[in-house]
Structure 1
């Protein structure tokens, strides 16, 4: 995986490009770098454009996450859009917002509905155990693991395995 360019790296590339442009013309291609170097302005412009799009996507994600979190039933279109925005901004360094909480609450609602369906449709001890497990997992999804343990190397919760950046804040923190 390629890391994102930092602002400093981007500034350094722009400075090198400016220095390269001061290169005295020789009337012939002095090296094989010219075709690649000629593409630098377009690549730099594309990186700047993508940074602007990332910024807009982060603002949209934050606003939509707050809306989805505040509403009892934001609807599948809004939650789907929030999920897509969260995927589009996965590698972007951004402050935490309500995205994880809103999506986790929806996952918990689906698990609780499944538990109700199991209880209403089937009978027996195994059914009650399965429904109780779904309810318990719904609580974990919605409130975070009570034994939340970050595994730094893996970037996941040691209890449930969810990525740390997509994990609800643990209860009591």
Structure 2
């Protein structure tokens, strides 16, 4: 089982991710502007994610994947971006499936430690998001460490310690 730590959403949370191999972002096809962690990462990458979205190479449709280098602009060297489909269509089952698939792909990419924000804030209740993370992502991810970027409401429900 992976060690899980929690970090605040925002620039300070991103800067606290030293020693993490990869960051996994979840972007829905109707996320414009980019919310929360995706928005902060895009800012740090000088709009690189927005340019990819505008160019149509990655659109956020379900099962769409993108890998970006951080080029030293983040503590984390690689950024995996996962398409969620339409945010309005995101339910607990779809979230669990997306998190499980992300865990499998990150494991196949030999990611040992990953940071991610559990998507669905504002769409799904925190207990449903926590359950999707615990039953979808954690069993699928084979790495040693998971750093969750989360707001206070979700942190209370996660099996984590403050990182």
TM over 0.5: same fold? no
* TM-score computed with the length of structure 1 as normaliser: 0.22
Higher strand fraction (1 or 2): 2
Q: Which has the higher contact order (CA 8 A, sep 6+)?
A: 2
Judging by fraction of residues, say which structure has more helix: 1
Higher gyration radius (CA): 1
